[in-house]
A and B are shown apart, each in its own frame.
Chain A
Amino acid sequence: MNVLRIAALTWDETRRARALLAGIVLTAIFLGFFSWGVLAAASQFGRARPSPLMALASQSNIDFASIIWGQVLSAGLYGVAGIGALLAIFLGAPSIAREVETGTLQLLASRPIGRWEIVTGKWLGGCALLVAYVGGSGTLACASVWYLTGYAPGNPILVVGALSIQVVVLHSLTIATSSVLPTITAGIVPVILHGIAGVAGFGERIGTLLDSEILKTTGIAASLILPSDVAWQLAASQAQPPNPLPALGFNAPMGPFDVISAPSPWIAAYALVYALACLGFAIWRVNQKDL
């Protein structure tokens, strides 16, 4: 029960600090621009002169429009995932570190409440907010593309679920760093790790393209160290139609947001275990802490 009280407090604090309002307004602006871009692309697509690539696709019974709109949707979701990742870190970094620095946590911890309840409540409140955010904005992005182009991903719930895993992983990692490091450092570390994971993910895709085992292994290792980018890859793979090029003998991506080989669904389970391990570490660390 105390966990839910602390989670509700986290919601309330975010709402009253107008962070939620700012997030909703800016995301609405982003989705507005995105939809406008999709509309422009859709009208352009209908009028465009068939290119040699489109002709080749037509000869091979490939739904070229689905490939294009899958890439467009992925671009929108990439924006949602990027904003979600930053929010996950910004919400998590001060959650423990700042409260220790200001002494707010002392007041809570002197109450008849376990420290694990405080940490879990903050984690739960933050995760719920972030999942609501990426769930809402991801669904709106999918709905916008579907309404304007008629394209819908095979399973939108999996798309939103994978985006949610990414923010939960990053938020959990940041809560863990917040239990050890000062506020600013607690935010910097996950930002850099997420950046490294993203670059390693690109490296893995290039490795697949070039059939380079070193690049592929580096990408996989980075995914295990921080499975945030691989969660994004999972979302992107679900947002797009299957890549027809390998069947035609080309081991190449369909576009900048394509995932050549979709991550294993087990990576989702690994990411959730990873998030729980981060939470467990944060609880252990806060339990040890002298406030």
Chain B
Amino acid sequence: MVTLAIETEALSKSYGRKQAASSVSFSVASGTVFGLLGPNGAGKSTTVKMLVGLVCPSSGIAKVFGRIPSRADARLGLGYVPEQFRFPEWMRAHEFLRFHAELAGVKTFDRQSEVTRVLREVGLEHRERDQLRTFSKGMLQRIGIAQALVGRPQLVVLDEPTSALDPIGRRDVRDLIVRLRSDGVTVLLNSHLLSEVETVCDHVAIMDRGRIVRAGSMADVTRGHVEVEVRCAGLTTQTLSALEARWTAVRLGEGTGSSEVQTFTISVIDEYEATHIADVLLAGGVRLLAMIPRRRTLEDVFVESVTTTDGDAIPAVRGRQ
């Protein structure tokens, strides 16, 4: 039986007339990495805050390992990196982590080794005695991740954990998430970096304007339409009509300089169906030069999902199209 680390049912939060999260329902199996995606203001951080007990839901239920997160004991196995973080900069790195180890219930004799372990995890073991005010933004983000790891939590919630990190730092965090999963830790990752989410997450949910608009395993979410780019020579009007009769989404590409060679893309359900394109072309006497299937990325799914009710992409996404 699958143990659920996170379970939400019709979780909603409103601030006056503004609905920050609306009927959000999803579950995260223990030991998996779950990605929560969405544009700015989609309600991701509000949802995350309800899961770590910082925000009280207006209605609905949130459970972390079967417990209501507003209860202190429910947060015993929880590590959290907030999106907007600022640490007491007068503290030294080891003091800060030791204090959080105390709060996390780490026994007195284990605290120093725990501090050393988490500093090593984030690559800051050489800065143990330094004051946090001397740390760069990226280093502070690493310290934030380190504090989330003290006490070996069963669930780690990372709200935009790599926003201040350089590419190497981002890769380190991805590797860390993979290591956590292999140790059986559940990770909830809230990130704008879709490539990051695509690389490490087992399941994703895409939020838009307070609602989950798509959710499922990474394979399920990106499954479906495959874009096939076709290069051919001798494409006749009849063959093109035959293609358009079967697949509506035929988009002709730009010419290649030779009037003989044509490129076009067709959207098909899966790679198997793509073989039928070749059948139609060959039956029409067209010389097939190349067929390149391109699976949809998470970014494609995200852009499709995050649209306004009248079908327009929201501004943040529209700018990328």
Which A residues fall within an 8 A CB radius of B?
Answer: 2, 5, 9, 13, 16-17, 102-104, 106-114, 288, 290-291
Contacts and interface: CB of A to CB of B under 8 A. Distances in A.
B219 interface: no
B109 interface: no
**Residue picked from B73, B76, B91, B103, most chain A C-beta under 10 Å:** B103
B72 interface: yes
A113 B56 CA distance: 16
Contacts of B49: 106, 290-291
Contacts of A102: 86
Contacts of A107: 80, 82, 85, 87, 100, 147
Given A110-B52, A111-B104, A9 B90 contact: no
A16 B87 CA distance: 14
Interface in B232-264: none
B313 interface: no
Given A5-B103, A114-B72, A109 B54 contact: yes
Contact of A9 (B56, B76, B99): B99
A113 B75 CA distance: 8
B90 to A, nearest CB: 4
Contacts of B55: 290-291
The 8 residue pairs across chains A and B that have the minimum distance between CB atoms:
A111-B103, A110-B80, A291-B54, A102-B86, A16-B90, A112-B76, A290-B55, A103-B84
Contact of B102 (A5, A114, A288): A5
Contacts of A2: 103
B54 A110 contact: yes
A112 B104 contact: yes
A72 to B, nearest CB: 40
Contacts of B147: 107
B88 interface: yes
B53 interface: yes
Interface residues of B, number: 29
A9 B85 CA distance: 18
Given A2-B103, A5-B102, A110 B53 contact: yes
Interface SS, B side: loop
B78 interface: yes
A286 to B, nearest CB: 12
Nearest to B100: A111
A113 B100 CA distance: 11
B73 A112 contact: yes
**Residue picked from B53, B55, B72, most chain A C-beta under 10 Å:** B72
A107 B157 CA distance: 12
B41 interface: no
A240 to B, nearest CB: 42
Contacts of A113: 72, 103
A112 B85 contact: no
A112 B85 CA distance: 18
B103 A103 contact: no
Given A290-B54, A290-B55, A291-B49, A110 B87 contact: no
Contacts of B80: 106-107, 110
A108 B103 CA distance: 8
B90 A17 contact: yes
Contacts of B60: none
B285 interface: no
8 contacts: A9-B99, A103-B84, A106-B80, A106-B82, A106-B84, A108-B103, A110-B82, A113-B103
B184 interface: no
Contacts of B73: 112
B224 interface: no
A5 B100 CA distance: 10
Contacts of B66: none
A112 B54 contact: no
A183 to B, nearest CB: 14
Contacts of A112: 72-76, 78, 103-105
Nearest to A117: B72
Contacts of A111: 75, 100, 103-104
B251 to A, nearest CB: 47
A111 B55 CA distance: 14
